[in-house]
């Protein structure tokens, strides 16, 4: 994986571990226009893992063309984050496992009603493994101070 930008690979890894905003995933639509989806993610090794319903449009599009792009960046200053180009793989057998990790990572009440609603649908979840080819970091913290 190629990296560019101000952050070393270990800083990129630390950012992704600590950042709990949704990942923005762009895939190629059938019309040729990009399609954008926001998904919860969990980093695991050199992959970013998401989960969604097997019937989701993003699953169909990635199954036909695994090339994608992604961005992880908070919407509030100081603006910083990572984006990259990747390949995605649909992994049905890890859908429920990844969903459980996402519920634990993103929800303040992992035993609450919303979590239960998500987990009740776990049998039809699939995992999406995003394997970055290139990652670029950016960080405007120093120029946004003061």
The CA–CA distances, whole Å, from 88 to 6, 62, 74, 94, 128 equal: 26, 7, 23, 14, 6
Domains delineated in the chain = 2-138 (2.30.110.10)
By the 10 Å C-beta count (0-12 exposed, 13-18 middle, 19+ buried), 131 is classed as middle
**Strand pairing partners for 126?**
52
| CA-wise closest residue to 16 among 113, 87, 83 | 83
How far, in Å, CA of 128 to CA of 110, rounded? 21
Q: What is the reported pTM?
A: 0.94
Q: Judge whether 22 and 48 are in contact, CB under 8 Å.
A: no
Written as tens digits, the pLDDT of the chain (146 aa) is: 899 999 999 999 999 999 999 999 999 999 989 999 999 999 999 999 999 999 999 999 999 999 999 999 999 888 999 999 999 999 999 999 999 999 999 999 989 999 999 999 999 999 999 999 999 999 998 887 76
How far, in Å, CA of 142 to CA of 78, rounded? 8
């Amino acid at each position: 994986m190629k990296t560019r930008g101000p952050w070393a690979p270990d800083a990129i890894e630390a950012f992704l571990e600590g950042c709990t905003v949704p990942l923005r995933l762009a895939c190629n639509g059938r019309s040729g226009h990009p399609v954008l989806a926001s998904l919860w993610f969990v980093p695991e090794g050199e992959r970013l893992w998401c989960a969604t319903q097997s019937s989701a449009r993003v699953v169909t599009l990635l199954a036909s063309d695994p090339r994608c792009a992604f961005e992880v960046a908070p919407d509030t200053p100081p603006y910083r984050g990572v984006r990259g180009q990747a390949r995605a793989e649909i992994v049905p057998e890890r859908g429920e496992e990844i969903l459980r990790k996402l519920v634990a990572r993103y929800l303040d009440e992992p035993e609450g009603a919303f979590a239960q609603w998500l987990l009740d649908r776990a049998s039809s979840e699939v995992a999406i493994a995003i394997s970055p080819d290139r990652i670029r970091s950016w960080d405007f913290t120093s120029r946004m101070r003061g």
